[in-house]
């Protein structure tokens, strides 16, 4: 047994409340107000589960109910956790603008006239946060006009909904408009699991997976294991839903959820709001989980009613027996957290799983010599921008303002959606933040994803920031590798903005007011939902036209932002022989290291240009430097992309060798496409993050893992590698990696793969898209 603070880890099953089954399900409930003729199919879930129950003859977890309820063929589908590849029929596809460009370019090249399932695109990633909402949004519309026009016309042409710039962050829009209990949603962003706050199994994927579903092809997912998190007690005082996931991240680490769905249950669930559950599920991406999900609760019903979906609220309540786990459902492991004992946490720096209780943060910061002065505090983002979050943070800011205090650090607020902005503006919450010295940014991702034009700190200058975001990798927010980024609840972040120092504990310490009196915060308070209802604000949604025949999509050959795709070449039927190692990566290598965001976001629709950032953030094991590798032909050191382009020009393929949890982080498929585009043949690592491994397969690459992780150390950057056995590539059958030293000496090691029969067809065709296009043209 393992224990840390309020968490406990077991390898036993959990007992859950029994619920009887029903023979029928609610009928004819529209999925959303934007698609009144598309209906929730609870009956499919019901029918599939009746088949699966007879086959498995055991209780089911909630995540199993949702996934198996969406099986393409419940009768014949092999079902083994951690082994089988499920063929699923998702209810919806959602794409953010940065990844949507490549996803839609791929969809267009498949030659399919319109999307097969309800789909939408959300413009949230390309808005740079700098001066404030109005000027930043106006500039983004001008700078990104070509991309926005492409996305809008493509959506109109192929029957997708389009949420224009200023609408808000994709995940907030989804929970406000599209998510519903029991839904299966895929999205081209790693934080798609945010919709788990409304009981949906929402999974982050690469664009090629989205193309499959939009093309009407079943979506393939390795049958996840199940991690249960049992919540008891009740949230109180300073503790917020954010602290639940900060605690879970500390227990499970950044790869502890890989290959599993995290499922919350227990009496404590009832004390968490629907949007609070969304926060917990959102940041489940930071532990590598396939997704996270909560059972149906009355807070979900309240939220659905408040956001104009009473029919869905009532239908999900009637279907609640299939929206929670069965009694006796077995989890592969269980974490238990007593919410009554849970205290606020601050996680970081540089990784979201380094958990420090707030009570120990001062001492730990001093011990670790983290920069004491806090330069910036940022709240909002897709993780924490609900009305509840904003109202609780505003209660603290108002209290400090009334005492005559102003913030000591830069204070930046990002509303998650136009609806949240309009509602919090109407109710005076944003004005409180302004009076305290806050800067309100546009309804977009902004600094959370590196879209932050920061002027107060020079690159390389050590400083501390605290955010209510989800991810804090090195350089993630401001591009400065010396910025120590910490993650906490919006309440703690707001209070720390007034304290201005890592030495300040807002729960126990006092501040001195301008009049010389001591001031101490009282616990935050706020409303789960706005008493006056939500204000929708400006209408930023574009529905696809009924007649799409006259819509045209144009991509200029001279464009530096968009580029039509050329198919990758098919496999030549041969083994990979005697190729150089482009880079042997040492240590953490996230998708931010492989394909950076920030200023590179503008090239997300142009494969050639975006490939100039390939692996420029990865640490080269040969010299300990980033973006400096030896060209094994010329002997000269150069940038990683430049070296890859030189190999490609010479007709030489290459491989990447990497460390643990390679590809952790974002769903961005550019991290795979650029490797393929510049001539990569394989990526060989100790272990992969789930989405990135799938993305590599989709692009016709070989994602391989060392059968013995210690073999990573036997390979040097100047070795040549051969991958043998591709002619008989078979599921479950290992391949041979022949390592040839500069001296000519060689030895063989075993490398594993996770290809199934279907994925092998992708490899042979050159990519999954090639396979789809060929099938469509038959």
Q: Which residues are annotated as catalytic?
A: 124-125, 189, 471, 666, 668
Task: Give the dihedral sign, CA 186/187/191/196.
Answer: negative
- The whole-angstrom separation of Cα 365 and Cα 19 is 48
Q: Show the beta-strand stretches assigned E in 444-587.
A: 463-467, 483-487, 511-512, 518-519, 541-542, 576-584
Residue with tokens 């559950």: 277
Q: Do the Cβ atoms of 125 and 98 come closer than 8 Å?
A: yes
CB atoms within 10 A of CB 400: 24
Strands laid side by side in the 291-293 sheet: 2-4, 7-10, 333-338, 225-232, 260-265, 291-293
DSSP sequence for 74-104: TTT----TTT-EEEE--SEEEEEHHHHHHHH
- The whole-angstrom separation of Cα 308 and Cα 486 is 36
Relative to beta strand 184-187, strand 92-96 is: parallel
Share of the chain residues as helix, strand and coil, in percent rounded to the nearest 5: 35, 20, 45
- The whole-angstrom separation of Cα 493 and Cα 485 is 12
Does an H or E element contain 35, and which?
strand 35-39
Q: Do the Cβ atoms of 426 and 420 come closer than 8 Å?
A: no
Beta bridge partners of 714: none
- The whole-angstrom separation of Cα 185 and Cα 290 is 12
Does an H or E element contain 439, and which?
strand 438-440
Task: Give the dihedral sign, CA 187/190/194/200.
Answer: positive
Q: Hey, what are 553's tokens?
A: 């999509």
DSSP state of 135: H
Q: How far is CA 286 from the centre of its chain?
A: 8
CB atoms within 10 A of CB 367: 9
């Amino acid at each position: 047994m393992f224990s840390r603070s309020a968490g406990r880890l077991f390898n036993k099953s959990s007992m859950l409340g029994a619920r009887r089954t029903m023979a029928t399900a609610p009928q004819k409930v529209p999925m959303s107000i934007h698609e009144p003729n598309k209906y929730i199919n609870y009956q499919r879930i019901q029918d599939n589960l009746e088949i699966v129950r007879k086959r498995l003859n055991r209780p089911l977890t909630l995540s199993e109910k949702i996934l198996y309820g969406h099986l393409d063929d419940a009768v014949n589908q092999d079902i083994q956790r951690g082994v089988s590849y499920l063929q699923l029929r998702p209810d919806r596809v959602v794409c953010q603008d940065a990844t949507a460009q490549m996803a839609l370019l791929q969809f267009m090249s498949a030659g399919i006239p319109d999307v097969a399932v309800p789909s939408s695109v959300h413009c949230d990633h390309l808005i740079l946060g700098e001066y404030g909402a109005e000027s930043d949004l106006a500039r983004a519309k001008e700078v990104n006009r070509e991309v926005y026009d492409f996305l809008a016309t493509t959506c109109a042409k192929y029957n997708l909904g389009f949420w224009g710039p200023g609408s808000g962050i994709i995940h907030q829009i989804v929970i406000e408009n599209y998510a519903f209990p029991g839904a299966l949603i895929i999205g081209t962003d790693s934080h798609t699991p945010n919709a788990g706050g409304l009981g949906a199994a929402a999974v982050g994927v690469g664009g090629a997976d989205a193309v499959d579903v939009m093309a009407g092809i079943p979506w393939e997912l390795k049958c996840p294991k199940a991690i249960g998190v049992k919540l008891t007690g009740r949230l109180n005082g300073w503790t917020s839903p954010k602290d639940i996931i900060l605690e879970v991240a500390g227990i499970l680490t950044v790869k502890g959820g890989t290959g599993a769905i995290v499922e919350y249950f227990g009496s404590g669930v009832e004390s968490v709001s629907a949007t609070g559950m969304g926060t917990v599920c959102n940041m489940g991406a930071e532990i590598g989980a396939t997704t996270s999900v909560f059972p149906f609760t009355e807070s979900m019903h309240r939220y659905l009613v408040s956001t104009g979906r009473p029919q869905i609220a009532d239908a999900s309540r009637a279907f609640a027996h299939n929206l929670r786990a069965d009694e006796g459902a077995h989890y592969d492991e269980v974490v238990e957290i007593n919410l009554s004992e849970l205290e606020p946490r601050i996680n970081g720096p540089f990784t979201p799983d380094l958990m420090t209780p707030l009570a120990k943060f001062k001492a730990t910061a001093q011990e670790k010599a983290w920069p004491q002065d806090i330069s910036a505090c940022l709240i909002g983002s897709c993780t924490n921008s609900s009305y509840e979050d904003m109202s609780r943070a505003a209660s603290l800011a108002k209290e400090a303002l009334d005492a005559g205090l102003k913030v000591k650090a830069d204070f930046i607020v990002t509303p998650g959606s136009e609806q949240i902005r309009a509602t919090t503006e109407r109710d005076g919450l944003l004005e409180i933040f302004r009076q305290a010295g806050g800067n309100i940014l546009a309804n977009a991702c902004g600094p959370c994803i590196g879209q932050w034009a920061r002027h107060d700190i020079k690159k390389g200058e050590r400083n501390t920031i605290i955010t209510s975001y989800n991810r804090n990798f090195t350089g993630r927010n401001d591009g400065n590798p010396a910025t120590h980024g910490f993650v906490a609840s919006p309440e703690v972040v707001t209070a720390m903005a007034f304290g201005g120092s890592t030495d300040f504990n807002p729960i126990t310490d006092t501040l001195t007011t301008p009049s010389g009196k001591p001031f101490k915060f009282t616990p935050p308070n706020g409303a789960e939902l706005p008493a006056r209802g939500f204000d929708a604000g400006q209408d930023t949604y574009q529905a696809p036209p009924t007649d799409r025949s006259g819509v045209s999509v144009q991509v200029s050959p001279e464009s530096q932002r968009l580029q039509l795709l050329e198919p990758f070449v098919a496999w030549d039927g041969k083994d990979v022989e005697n190729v150089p190692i482009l880079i042997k990566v040492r240590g953490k290598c996230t998708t931010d290291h492989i394909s950076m965001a920030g200023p590179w976001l503008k090239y997300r629709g142009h494969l050639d240009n975006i490939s100039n950032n390939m692996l420029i953030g990865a640490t080269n094991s040969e010299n300990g430097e980033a973006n400096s590798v030896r060209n094994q032909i010329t002997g000269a050191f150069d940038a990683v992309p430049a070296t890859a382009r030189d190999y490609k020009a010479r007709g030489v393929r290459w491989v990447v060798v990497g460390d643990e949890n390679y590809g952790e982080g974002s769903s961005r498929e550019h991290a795979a496409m650029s490797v393929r585009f510049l001539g990569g043949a394989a990526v060989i690592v100790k272990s992969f993050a789930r989405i990135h491994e799938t993305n590599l397969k989709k692009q016709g690459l070989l994602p391989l893992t060392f059968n013995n992780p210690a073999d990573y150390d036997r390979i040097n950057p100047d070795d040549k590698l051969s991958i043998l056995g591709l002619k008989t590539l078979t599921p479950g059958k290992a391949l041979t990696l022949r390592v040839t030293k500069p001296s000519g000496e060689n030895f063989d090691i075993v490398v594993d793969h996770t290809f199934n029969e279907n994925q092998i067809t992708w490899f042979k065709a050159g990519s999954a898209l090639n396979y789809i296009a060929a099938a469509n043209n038959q």
